[in-house]
A and B are shown apart, each in its own frame.
Chain A
């Protein structure tokens, strides 16, 4: 464990707590893409298959459980909670995320560390996570003004993988045999997808203005 990865995990946890706060406090999920949340739930379920077979550390196990439980709780809430589901922007959240599923799965069949069930699904979860934010970013562009908590949520979500990139650089210097090309390249793509969001987030922070994404 290194400081970059720890900060990355904490940033990821903060983003989830912000989303839970928004949904719990405002009983609304306006501006949140259910499709992105469903993709994240799938990312965690396919990545943490080793939850009960490989024990790495208490921290690792606890964080995996928190990520799985929170992502499922958010999806359940957006689908079934009477107040929350009514605020879901169904007509705006129209990204065809099944293509993301298919593309990630096909790529995982081609590119993986080992052709084994758990490894192919692990690679699938890495590729899927890289593109899972797309429905959310498209929804933000369509819904124009972005409420504060939603903006913070997306910001921390993007920042966590950027910190992981520093973690991979650090681990490479510590141990040149440490190569995680799949996670690293996907992490770069994932962070790059946030580039324009980070730009508009920075502008809104500098001008102390509301976060506006161009349509």
Chain B
């Protein structure tokens, strides 16, 4: 789930 910048949260 980890995206660049870790914006996997709402």
Residues of A within 8 A of B (CB): 1, 5, 9, 12, 50, 54, 56-57, 60, 63-64, 67, 113-114, 119, 122, 164, 167, 178, 180, 183
A-B CB proximity, top 9 nearest: A56-B8, A113-B5, A63-B10, A9-B10, A54-B3, A119-B5, A122-B7, A56-B1, A180-B6
Residues of B within 8 A of A (CB): 1, 3, 5-10
The interface residues of chain A lying within 8 Å CB-to-CB of B9 are 5, 164, 167, 180, 183
B5 contacts A114, CB within 8 Å?
Answer: yes
B6 contacts A178, CB within 8 Å?
Answer: yes
The interface residues of chain B lying within 8 Å CB-to-CB of A12 are 10
With both chains docked as a complex, state the minimum distance between the C-beta of B6 and any C-beta of chain A, in angstroms.
6
The interface residues of chain B lying within 8 Å CB-to-CB of A122 are 5, 7
Task: Give the CA-CA distance A50 to B10 in the complex, in Å.
Answer: 11
6 A-B interface contacts by CB (under 8 A): A9-B10, A60-B8, A67-B10, A122-B5, A164-B9, A178-B6
The interface residues of chain B lying within 8 Å CB-to-CB of A9 are 10
- Knowing A12-B10, A63-B10, A64-B10 are in contact, say whether A56-B3 is a contact too (CB < 8 A): yes
